Structure 1
């Protein structure tokens, strides 16, 4: 539904539209639906997308392209978790990467054992990883990220410069973040550790 001229609280030409996209299905989603205790499994550390998840990414990518939205996106912000970066580059990245192109790929071939081709960073908006753009922190290994040193070679064109710590200092093994803390972090008022 398009807003009617003159009804906005702030002039529309001075506004930005923000689209929020949740990551596609990850291996932790499947395991957790079968048995909630599976979320405690170290095998789900920094969970990657499932084949169905990649199918969801492909469908959303087609929708974004056909709707013309792809041409309007100015910046993609992603959390620094494997499944969220896979989703972001799969939906908003350019076509398959070709060796010899001067721009680095957004994602290298088979990143996170995806079986997917590399994704080009040409003709797409910049990608920025933001540490605080994460869901609940703590306890579940699927919600702990890898080091930024491990991510950089997998996602060469994602900008990790705003992430202050190589290791995940926000995730704690024995404290699950409360909903109130998640909300405060979303407002930029959460506690910064270390």
Structure 2
């Protein structure tokens, strides 16, 4: 028997199932694909989902309901930007939606559905681009009353800097902090609704001890409204970091 290829069991209490979801196509994606300079436009402040993005959210909602996944999820963690909160509510909120993708997926009650919590640590790369600046918390609460904003860092966005783009090294360090926070949560099956670069950094953190081929496939770029699921194991008692 080749023991190097064996799969070793871990106690379920030391594992979590994480479902990573990138937001649906947003207006800054549309404009940025035409002209990257458009991402500097103030008109794209905290960009909303595009019509196609709304359709993508509607499709993922149907897939999640049909698969039975919604019955297993205990917590949804979302970036506090408009496009991610629209996606989180649209896919995991409580009300069903008609076909056509014209809903705004905002003020939808989530009673008897997973708690949806906004967390600053998993928001998009900070700085320079207005599309990555968030609204005031009071405005977010009015737009998304079913989301829990108790983890937010303050009413105004003090993290976004108009002159400095967050270095990727700092994004990576932020994801380490985010995953450490996630391990403090009691829930075992959690959804993270965030942004492509953020999700890739999360998987980079988790995949540190994976085979390079596995890590390469795991950390590939996310499509809009793509859902990717992983099981992670807390190996801290064995002297290793939390990992896949």
TM-score between both structures, scaled by the size of structure 1: 0.81
Aligned to 1:33: 33
Structure with the greater relative contact order (CA < 8 A, sep ≥ 6): 1 or 2?
2
Aligned to 1:103: none
Deviation at 1:175, TM superposition (A): 0.2
In 1, the alpha carbon distance for the partners of 2:106 and 2:165 equals 35
Deviation at 1:117, TM superposition (A): 7.6
Contact 2:57/2:90, CA 8 A, preserved across alignment = yes
Contact 1:24/1:56, CA 8 A, preserved across alignment = yes
Per-residue Cα deviation, 1:106-151 (whole angstroms, up to 9, x for no partner): xxxxxxx965584221231101100111121000000000000111
Contact 1:96/1:120, CA 8 A, preserved across alignment = no
Contact 1:49/1:114, CA 8 A, preserved across alignment = no
Runs of 4+ in 1 over 3 A off after TM superposition: 6-9, 113-118
Work out which of the residue numbers 140, 144, 154 in structure 2 matches 1:155.
144
In 1, the alpha carbon distance for the partners of 2:80 and 2:9 equals 34
1:127 aligned onto 2:116: yes
Aligned to 2:176: 187
Q: CA RMSD in A?
A: 2.1
Name the SS for the 1:128 alignment partner: strand
Deviation at 1:157, TM superposition (A): 1.5
Name the SS for the 1:73 alignment partner: coil
Name the SS for the 1:186 alignment partner: helix
Where structure 2 has 5 or more consecutive residues not aligned to the other structure, the ranges are 1-5, 179-244
Deviation at 1:13, TM superposition (A): 5.4
Q: Which has the higher strand share?
A: 2
Deviation at 1:39, TM superposition (A): 0.2
Aligned to 2:132: 143
Map of 1:1-194 to 2, 5 A cutoff? 7-12=7-12, 14-95=14-95, 115=104, 118-188=107-177
Deviation at 1:179, TM superposition (A): 0.9
Contact 1:27/1:47, CA 8 A, preserved across alignment = yes
Contact 2:78/2:119, CA 8 A, preserved across alignment = yes
Per-residue Cα deviation, 1:51-108 (whole angstroms, up to 9, x for no partner): 10010001111111111101011000001100000000000011159xxxxxxxxxxx
Name the SS for the 2:19 alignment partner: coil
Deviation at 1:41, TM superposition (A): 0.3
In 2, the alpha carbon distance for the partners of 1:33 and 1:22 equals 17
Q: Which has the higher helix share?
A: 2
Say how many residue pairs are matched. Answer: 169
